[in-house]
Amino acid sequence: MAEDGRLVRLFPVPFRLVEDDQQFKKWQWVSARVRRAQDDARPESHRVSVDTIQLEGEPLPTRDHWIARREVLKGVPVFDSFAALDAARDADGVTLGLVRPSRLLGLDITPVDNPDWTEDEKAKLLQEQQQGNLFDADEDQRTLKTLKKLPYDFHYRYECQTEAGPVEYRHKLVDWEAGALYWNVHRREDWQAAFRQKFVTEFGDKEVLFLMGTIHRFPKQWLIVSVLYPPKLPDALARQQSLF
């Protein structure tokens, strides 16, 4: 997001090309030179000049019930239902947005059709990495060989409150943290239970927000790109202010 609350899609950000003193973390402000993506009609999509990335302070802390993070998010519109977000896509071309689910219902975990990269997927990955001529083709081929594909798909089932009552939705979860958690627990016999414990049970006790975005090639199809999970405010603080 930008300082004024606009959500911005930046790509590609090849972390192996980012110098040590430029390697940022989640919830950390950076400055960089960006430009509108010419090959992507989504209005939020930009390309970033990797060599211009500069860190701006430390990552925003989680202390005091995420007060620092809540403050910067105040400028970002939050949709109370997925239907409202999709209506904004129809009306204004919005392709990134925050949705507040009223309840997490569950997480579907299903094997992918092909656990290995297909030739078509490899070609797309290489094309994305090599845009801007910043990459070495041989090195990219070696990177793809070590890049592991998740053998499972994860879909959230959740409810949103509407004027007509609660409505259930189901969307694919592609959060980087979900992939990292899978590789950390996948050798355990109970890994699916551990996964659901984190993304359903634990997050169900928090004020969850979904960062959702559309797919470039399928502009009407939405994904849950990331999950934001601030803790619920104590009653005294909750009476003083809304979440965002």
Going from N- to C-terminal start, the domains of the chain cover 1-59, 61-112+150-240
- The DSSP element (H or E) to which 10 belongs, if any, is strand 9-10
pTM assigned to the model: 0.86
pLDDT in tens, 17-46: 566 777 888 999 999 999 999 889 999 999
Percentage of residues in the chain with pLDDT exceeding 90?
66
Q: How far is CA 52 from the centre of its chain?
A: 23
- Residue 145 — pLDDT band, cuts 50, 70, 90? very low
Span 47-70, average pLDDT: 92
Percentage of residues in the chain with pLDDT exceeding 70?
82
Contact status, residue 25 vs residue 177, Cβ threshold 8 Å: no
Other CB atoms within a 10 A radius of the CB of residue 241 amount to: 11
pLDDT in tens, 89-115: 999 999 999 999 999 999 999 999 887
Q: How far is CA 243 from the centre of its chain?
A: 20
> Tokens representing 68?
């620092």
Name the nearest CA neighbour of 107 among 198, 21, 186, 23.
198
